[in-house]
Structure 1
């Protein structure tokens, strides 16, 4: 059974078709790279998969079950997390930011903090737990946001341009983290306009241009 199956997906904004996907399957436990130039439709595709943007037509299934958009889609969104290109951090320490998603999904404060600390360890940011989030570098913010997603227990991660705006050291750390998560059984779909970097991690690659999957991509 595929983690995701998309069929006949179309999304339009102001009458313009920005995403037109005939068919796309994402296998469980894989890292799939969605590459293409800016404006190709990569982020739109991830938002459709996350249950945050209802397509104008088509079918999206997660683990064989239709994705429900709107208030009824809570079950799907508990299992799938989208990490935005520019992750939001609220005021306060890193540990509170990392535990936020866990609390939102019903964990007690103690449970959420314990999960957050484990997740921070996984992404190599345990030493930042008490630091004020506003003092983080761009690469550290990306890694803490990934810890926040992991602390929720999500089984599938959708990463929007995870290496964008990140220095070389943190880019390499992110590559290692993503590869490690895939090795632990997570399904990962990530957008990138850096095909060489993405190819160093991905087991599957899809290229999008003008909202369509290119042949052979």
Structure 2
């Protein structure tokens, strides 16, 4: 799979006369695990969408640098990219299996291999027995598990998890953690937003906080008091 680093400069979002945030410089490297925090409305989701290419900033640009471990033709066009997971993930009108397998048809030509990958992912999130059920019968938490499995099978270079653990039970969060750990070991970078610390945010070793239109990076999460040792990310 591919490893991706992201460099961004002079990022800003403005809505009419309101400046949401301005970030002089931002850097995300391979295997980074970053906890993105901040009050409601400060721009966390907007920043993730900019990093994923789903939204254009008012100023600045985002540059992706890819280094592939394997031949690019083996990896395909989708593997090693940037995936954005929303709190309420979009699901296709089909079975649970179809939803997990959808992206694989762009990267794996062999149908049986695609099925094996999808079933393995569903087994890891505890939904293998529901593979042939229509997606509409699943609960919100189960849909988040499907979204995580769908992201995992594509082996992204960067996975942006936007409140993906919100309102989930402990088992669902632990299932997410298993797949997130596996992706980190493979070289994926993670950016995770959450209003509450949990087993998923515990994977993070860096923390970004958006406050007063600025992105602030805190020191190592395991070593310092969160209320101290802040410095502007610039």
TM-score class, shorter: 0.7 to 0.9
1:135 matches 2:131: no
Distance 1:122-1:56 versus aligned 2 partners, 3 A rule: same
Query: Equivalent residue for 1:82?
Result: 84
C-alpha distance in structure 1 between counterparts of 2:34 and 2:82, whole Å: 15
Rg (Cα) greater in structure: 2
Q: Is the helix fraction higher in 1 or 2?
A: 1
Give the equivalent residue in structure 1 for 2:181: 179
RMSD of the alignment, in Å? 2.7
Q: Which runs of 5+ in 1 are unaligned?
A: 66-74
Partner of 2:94: helix, strand, or coil? coil
**Inter-partner Cα distance in structure 1 for 2:89 and 2:63:** 26
Task: Report which stretch shifted further, 112-121 or 148-157.
Answer: 112-121
Contact 2:33–2:190 under 8 Å retained in 1: yes
Residue 153 of structure 2 is aligned to residue 151 of structure 1: yes
Aligned partner of residue 140 in structure 1, secondary structure? helix
Q: Which of residues 60, 66, 79 is equivalent to 1:58?
A: 60
2:10 aligned counterpart, secondary structure? strand
Mapped contact 1:35–1:194 kept (Cα < 8 A): no
Aligned twin of 2:28: 26
Q: CA deviation at 1:33?
A: 1.0
What TM-score do the two structures reach when normalised by structure 1? Answer: 0.82
Structure 2: how far apart are the matches of 1:90 and 1:101? 11
Gaps of 5+ in 2: 68-76, 218-229
1:192 paired with 2:214, answer no
Structure 2 Cα separation of the partners of residues 152 and 197 of structure 1: 23
Match of residue 49, structure 2, among 47, 50, 69: 47
What is the SS of the residue equivalent to 1:205?
strand
In terms of mean alpha carbon deviation, does 161-170 or 192-201 score higher? 192-201
| Post-superposition offset of 1:78 | 6.4
Count of aligned pairs between the two proteins: 207
Q: Which residue of 2 aligns with 1:203?
A: 205
In structure 2, the CA distance between the partners of 1:5 and 1:77, relative to structure 1 (3 Å rule), is farther
